[in-house]
Structure 1
């Protein structure tokens, strides 16, 4: 069985990070090995939560796993609380990352044009260094802008889909060329020709081509969808699936879960009811 080290937080409420990654990887036939960066009573979108930062504890996981002589087929990084945790991730990679290990970096820093509370210029600098080690990077639109210098505000003022998509494709190509990694930009919201509709999508870019997928959008943004998406992609890579096919599978899985969640009028911070649709991910 393939093993993936998942380095991100554990939020008890909100269905994100480890509570999203572990069930997705498990149902896809992959052993998820968690290295928690923090323990939270609820994800940070809730009005109140307690966070226990585990920066000082991360080194023990590296040391103890090294004593056991374990090896990983994949490493998946997500939410970190600051640049010090990225430094810890680099030390982890020094021990466990090899040419046979697939590294997926989800550069969690912000969304909808806003940075998260833990964001600093130093964090951005270290994240830019981390993505150069990756085989696959999965930024959302905001994070793509942060990593490449593309203006998020300018992007939102494009009046037609073609200009919007071209600007993001160029930014994605820039990121791909800088890092050498495959790139999937998530959460695209291109301007619609019909103002009564909204769209959402993703764009895959490698060294030779790009592929985008756009579908209708209900306007709801739920906690953890990016984590679920990245986890399906990682599971697909561990199964040897083509990245475009994995992207399509992740989109179908999320679209079904989001539709069911919207019908139940679940608060966005509570995340999507994905559990009963995990069967869609079985090989």
Structure 2
């Protein structure tokens, strides 16, 4: 069993395997000690078209005060959907405090806000600004291609890109801190090939991991990919190898779930995790 302690900071849906509902079972299955700090309570996945959402800022603020008193510590913090700049501020402050207690703290940010060339329904434009602040605290960021374009202000609205444009986006996302970058859902504008591409600061190397594209949309696959990616990375895999293993695992889970008629609810992970190896 891996005893590393992971804090997940994202939204919690009442219906659907996305965000915390998808991430928690994966990390637990792979042997990590996992905690969570919900940024919002959401009635269901957004794909259904109608939803209710509760901003949990006050709960987060009070919870972090208690955790400070109890001297809780983490080995890894993963952030996802964040509702406001106020939430970003207290999350980043907590990360700074945790780094002071544990210099080896590994912080991963998934700036969830957009896909398919546009912001998600209900996401305000100012979200881009506070997500830029959120990624500044991270050692590794994992945006999809659309989110990467919004964060850099380059190629916004594009759905495909050439190698030169992709390298420009990656370099802008690396920032002064030289963080690692993993961009999902990249499509080459000439060949149409799909890949996950990025930069590993530990090896000072760029990489591209091609994958077979399944023409279906299943909510939560980004959360699932992130969970396996971080798990493999914390197990000691190099970033590119972790990306490859995570992509293969997500492909397998989508394939196993291909006959599920309720695709809006995501993948019922508990049915399939026993088929996913821990090596």
Instruction: Give the TM-score, by structure 2 length.
Output: 0.90
Runs of 4 or more consecutive aligned structure 1 residues displaced over 3 Å after TM superposition: 117-122, 265-268, 273-277
Written as runs of structure 1 = structure 2, the 5 A alignment for 1:27-176 is 27-98=29-100, 99-153=103-157, 155-156=158-159, 164-176=162-174
Deviates more, 1:163-172 or 1:73-82: 163-172
Residues 8 and 77, structure 1, Cα contact 8 Å, conserved in 2: yes
Written as runs of structure 1 = structure 2, the 5 A alignment for 1:174-189 is 174-189=172-187
Instruction: Give the Cα–Cα distance (whole angstroms) in 2 for the partners of residues 257 and 114 of structure 1.
Output: 26
Q: Deviations over 1:216-274 (max 9, x none)?
A: 22221210111111111221232222111211111111101111222x05343221244
Instruction: Give the Cα–Cα distance (whole angstroms) in 2 for the partners of residues 200 and 268 of structure 1.
Output: 22
Give the superposition deviation at 1:56: 1.5
Instruction: Give the Cα–Cα distance (whole angstroms) in 2 for the partners of residues 281 and 100 of structure 1.
Output: 27
Instruction: Give the Cα–Cα distance (whole angstroms) in 2 for the partners of residues 115 and 236 of structure 1.
Output: 29
Residues 28 and 235, structure 1, Cα contact 8 Å, conserved in 2: yes
Which residue is 1:8 aligned to?
A: 10
Give the superposition deviation at 1:201: 2.2
Partner SS, residue 54 of structure 2: strand
Instruction: Give the Cα–Cα distance (whole angstroms) in 1 for the partners of residues 262 and 123 of structure 2.
Output: 25
Q: Deviations over 1:14-63 (max 9, x none)?
A: 21110111011111211110001111121222222221210121012211
Candidates 200, 218, 226, aligned match of 2:222? 226
Instruction: Give the TM-score, by structure 1 length.
Output: 0.88
The unaligned stretches of length 5 or more in structure 2 are: none
Give the superposition deviation at 1:107: 0.7
Report the aligned-residue RMSD.
2.0
Which residue is 1:210 aligned to?
A: 206
The unaligned stretches of length 5 or more in structure 1 are: none
Residues 30 and 238, structure 1, Cα contact 8 Å, conserved in 2: no
Deviates more, 1:266-275 or 1:78-87: 266-275
